[in-house]
A and B are shown apart, each in its own frame.
Chain A
Amino acid sequence: MKQLSQDAQTTLLLTTHFGDKGPMEHGPLTPTEWGRFARWLTEQSIAPGELLVGNRRELLRGFQDNKISLERMETLINRGTTLALSVEKWSRAGLWIITRSDSAYPEKLTERLNHNCPPVLFGSGDNNLLNKPAIAAVGSRDVTNEDLKFSRTIGGKAAASGFAIVSGGARGVDEASMLGALEAEGTAIGVLADSLLKKSTSRIYRNHIQRKNIVLISPFSPEAGFNVGNAMARNKYIYCLSEAAVVVHSGRTGGTWSGATENLKKQWVPLWVKRTSDPDSGNNDLVNLGGSWLPHNIVEGDLNSLLGRKSTSNDEKDVKIDCIADQSNRSFYEIFLFKLKSLLKNDSMTRTELQDVFDLTPKQLDVWLRKAIESEQIIKKGTPVSYSLIQKAKGNQLAMFDES
């Protein structure tokens, strides 16, 4: 059995709900709180694991946060036996644990969510699948047979187009789309809000996990039971792990609705909505809010076409850049690099294509491209010259705050 690193142990101690304990006086840090604290640690050049061996009072001198008292941290950090009992069990069940600082942590999440991404991911199956291009399939648990059949078709279609299906792993649309992909010898990612341990042992997924066709992940304890808050909170991870999302059926409230509108607001990925005759559905409203109707002929076409077309909003670019600029005082080059990397994520691009996108003077573009090559962010190759990302493992804890 793999032993957790001390950094990972600290992260789990401070952020994970172990077991079913009900409300705690000093509850685990939320992803945002952990993000704040981790950033402070980085600034002080303190590795999280040091908190377990060093003199904590000394190390934490100067840390001030209204929400995160030293007492709270002390209580959380003293849960060592709870951690050991829980981690032993989860690892016994074949589950793995990765934290933001691990190289296996999906880059899409850190890039899109920055310090709001989950500090810890629990999972079962091949974690390499998390970095595969994926189509999100979302929809209600209780849908018509036609919608179920359509979900299965979309799953198969995704497989044929080289995409994984990412879904919430619940009954209904989620399960049907994942099984559709698996039956077509494709792959699937299930982002669960509860019961990861149990689901990983279920007959429908167990074999696929062993054959590395599916990965189930959850930002919540593998034994957590169903909880509406968690189910809502995990929606964003489904979108952020995808390249484009297909809404099969949404209500006007509830999980699918809130996830889809959140995605429209945050502009993570293009949102495609299936046409429906159900007058009670929220599908139409989603299109009014900025989603696009899924083309009728999509089942004959290639799902790659879902990636290109951006949704209607014109100021998407600005929103995104504003958001980056807002978060940390980035230089223009950093913003350029951020944008460049997200463009090159799936495919290489030629200089001309880049020129079109960036609308910079050719000289400026050259200077920045060269800088990016020298800092080993991208490589240049072939004729005609094209640029692509260097696929490298992420480094240490520091990397997550430093997208450049």
Chain B
Amino acid sequence: MGIRVEKSIAEDLLRNALDDKSASFRPNQWEAIDAVVNKKQKLLVVQKTGWGKSIVYFISAKVFREGNQGPTIVISPLLALMRNQIPAAERLGITAVTINSSNQEEWDEVKERIAEGDVDVLLISPERLSNDEFVRDVLLPISDNLGLLVVDEAHCISDWGHDFRPDYRRIANVLKQMPPNMPILGTTATANNRVVKDVVSQLGDIEVLRGPLIRESLFLQNIRLPDQAARLAWLSEHLPDIPGTGIVYTLTKKDAEQVAEWLNLNGISSAAYYSDVTHAGNPDSSSYRIALESMLLKNEIKVLVATTALGMGYDKPDLGFVIHYQAPGSVVAYYQQVGRAGRAIESARGILLSGREDQDIHEHFRNAAFPGGGQVNQILQALERSDGLSMPELQRRVNLTKGQIEQVLKLLSVENPAPVIREDRKWLRTAVDFEMDQERINFLVQQKTREWKEVQEYIDHEDCLMVFLSNSLDDDADTPCGKCSRCLPDGRMPETFSETLGVKSSLFLRYSEMLLIPRKQVPKDAFQKYGFHRILNRHGLEAETGRILSRWGDAGWGRVVMNGKHANHFGDKLVDAVCEMFEERWNPDPRPTWVTFVPSFNHPALVPDFAKRVAKRLGLSFQNVVTKTARNRPQKQMQNSFYQCQNLDGVFAVDSDIKTEPVLLLDDMVDSRWTLTVIAALLRSAGSGPVYPIVLATTAIGK
């Protein structure tokens, strides 16, 4: 009780920490400290990135600690921020630690250090806060006597915010229960008036401190280039001319991989970065991501090609450019990403390339963002009939993917009251009446559609681009920036690229086949008729790694495959493509000597006709040895592994007398990989040699 700090003392702390006798607070920093420390207020700070919010909570944390209170907790959605903040805190003489999913082995030690009073600031992710086991085992034992609670990216609390994160609904509900003697600091760099108003109305009794959001060093430019090949060519031609290092944002992981590979082929050092990116030299994704972030920080690579997994909180003052390979979903999200550039340098480029596929990807994102009522009911009914179900138990009771089940449970479990709750690794149905808030979901989906329309307006905007961004954030600046491509056409980057590069990038896309990694383990009890052992490779029944020629409907071969499927005929161009890939870039060893295919009742001739031509071109024998013996439901309606396998059980048969040499197994489309896995297992059981699957396209988006 009664912890107070005078401005001069706080400033001394700052000066000591920075070892700079003339240091002083930036505008509003002291006001924020005064509000949370002296007035125990709940405060929302809206300031641009780089304003120095961490100074506010680090100094406040220090004051609370010196007054004998426990640590300050900072909730922030991105690991990148945490990694940057720990050394930053150290420089200020503050001990910061993080507990997150990637450092589980350190939790006990960290908890002990907190208990011993060794920690000033604890950084956690919103996902941790909404994990009841984590709260019970880690947070509650240390949550008495906390100094301050900081919520980063507080705009996520509002449905009007551009960034829908269910975990923030939980955070808001926790904040609502915070008694008035506990200060809270919310921070955001991207909240317009509507978002601020909504956050205030939800949390009640909260003060707002707002500063200018616009960054003056940014050169903005938008270029429409519908073809991926064109955008790749543009990047490889112009990136070397942009000073410094930076980020290229893509919408999907696959695009991140592809763009990074292309840039490296063209001598521009780059790496792909996304939520579960892995690399042979690193034990896990999280340590690899740390390594990637640090490579960019130290300018060891020119470009990090990243999905939004790299974003909020990544703190590199001299980032020279942020280029979007595909258009982002909202103007505010765009501002947030492009605003990473040019924080502590005179000028930086923010270039938005937009392509033909953007629309479809965003539509897919929108449709996948919320579960349908049917999915919700399936899950609730399964839980109602039980005293709690674990995740694997649920998967066997509902025909939904693990991802869908997780999404539904997440969405339901952040409500308050909620129809489901997690206790001891099981999901329980609470005694709460529940009806889907369809209105809210419609609102959120429409919101995303509106935001996407606004992005189109931004791309085609004819006046100052910075003023457009500024208006969407309700920032006051309405004077043209004088440097964007509309204000100063002479300062633009060229929109063209050389024809040679264009041809090269088209070929690159056509050669961008993917590995097809077959399944090796089958779900328990899924194959009652076939009786497969659960671990296929232990019995020599697994398929070899195969190839996928393209992504369905995509640039490269994807569009050709789509047209062929619709015309019920795959042309000779695709035969050439498959054979060229097989001979020149794959060359499996031992080499297959014969070709067979996956039969279908609906398109009985399409695949065998194609397989026959491929066999002929490669000089292999064509054998029709797999038969479909029973009609089953369309595999695409089966949503999780258990149902997908069950739907295939006993559906195919393989002739008993087949060649014992290695074989190519052809199909047109792949999604879950189970059909290929099952037929390969049947072929191996019947005595074939190794089975190499080839498919023309994958329908799995973004993977």
Q: Taking beta carbons and an 8 Å cutoff, which residues of A are in contact with B?
A: 1, 3-4, 6, 9-10, 13, 18-21, 52-53, 55-57, 74-75, 77-89, 91-94, 124-125, 197-198, 200-203, 205-206, 209-210, 223
Contacts and interface: CB of A to CB of B under 8 A. Distances in A.
B170 interface: yes
Nearest to B423: A198
B122 to A, nearest CB: 11
B34 to A, nearest CB: 18
B179 A203 contact: no
A93 B145 contact: no
A83 B431 CA distance: 22
Contact of A81 (B73, B132, B421): B73
B174 interface: yes
A214 to B, nearest CB: 9
A46 B554 CA distance: 71
B417 A19 contact: no
B69 interface: yes
B179 A9 contact: yes
Nearest to A206: B431
B140 interface: yes
Given A88-B170, A210-B431, A6 B180 contact: yes
Contacts of A75: 144-145
Interface in B144-181: 144-146, 149, 170, 173-181
Given A82-B140, A85-B135, A200 B177 contact: no
Interface of B: 1-2, 69, 73, 132, 135-136, 139-141, 143-146, 149, 170, 173-182, 204, 384-388, 413, 415-418, 421, 423, 428-433
Across the A-B interface, give the 3 residue pairs with the lowest CB-CB distance, nearest first: A80-B182, A209-B431, A94-B432
B421 A201 contact: yes
B428 to A, nearest CB: 4
A93 B430 contact: yes
A81 B431 contact: no
10 contacts: A1-B417, A18-B140, A52-B180, A74-B1, A79-B143, A85-B174, A91-B173, A205-B431, A206-B384, A210-B431
Contact of B182 (A3, A84, A209, A223): A84
Contacts of A55: 2
A89 B418 CA distance: 9
Contact of A21 (B141, B146, B204): B141
A140 B615 CA distance: 78
A324 to B, nearest CB: 36
A13 B177 CA distance: 12
A77 B181 contact: yes
B249 to A, nearest CB: 35
Nearest to B136: A19
B421 A93 contact: yes
B180 A53 contact: yes
Contacts of B176: 1, 3, 88
B69 A78 contact: yes
Contact of B174 (A19, A57, A88, A124): A88
A3 to B, nearest CB: 5
B144 A201 contact: no
A81 B147 CA distance: 9
Contacts of A79: 143-145
Contacts of A197: 421, 423
The winner among A9, A77, A89, A200 for most chain B CB atoms within 10 A is A89
Given A78-B144, A93-B432, 7 more contacts: A52-B179, A52-B180, A53-B180, A80-B146, A81-B146, A81-B149, A201-B421
Contact of A4 (B144, B177, B182, B418): B177
A240 B136 CA distance: 33
B173 A203 contact: no
Contact of A92 (B182, B417, B431, B433): B417
Contacts of A200: 430-431
Contacts of B141: 19, 21
A92 B135 contact: no
A82 B70 CA distance: 12
B167 to A, nearest CB: 13
B416 A1 contact: yes
A206 B182 contact: no
B144 A85 contact: no
A89 B73 CA distance: 19
A88 B176 CA distance: 8
A54 to B, nearest CB: 10
A336 B432 CA distance: 44
Nearest to A202: B387
B205 to A, nearest CB: 10
Contacts of A81: 73, 143-144, 146, 149, 178, 182
Contacts of B387: 201-203
Contacts of A89: 132, 135, 421
Nearest to A13: B179
B179 A6 contact: yes
Nearest to B417: A94
A84 B178 contact: yes
B423 A78 contact: no
Given A19-B136, A92-B418, A84 B174 contact: yes
Given A80-B182, A89-B135, A201 B177 contact: no
A94 B431 contact: yes
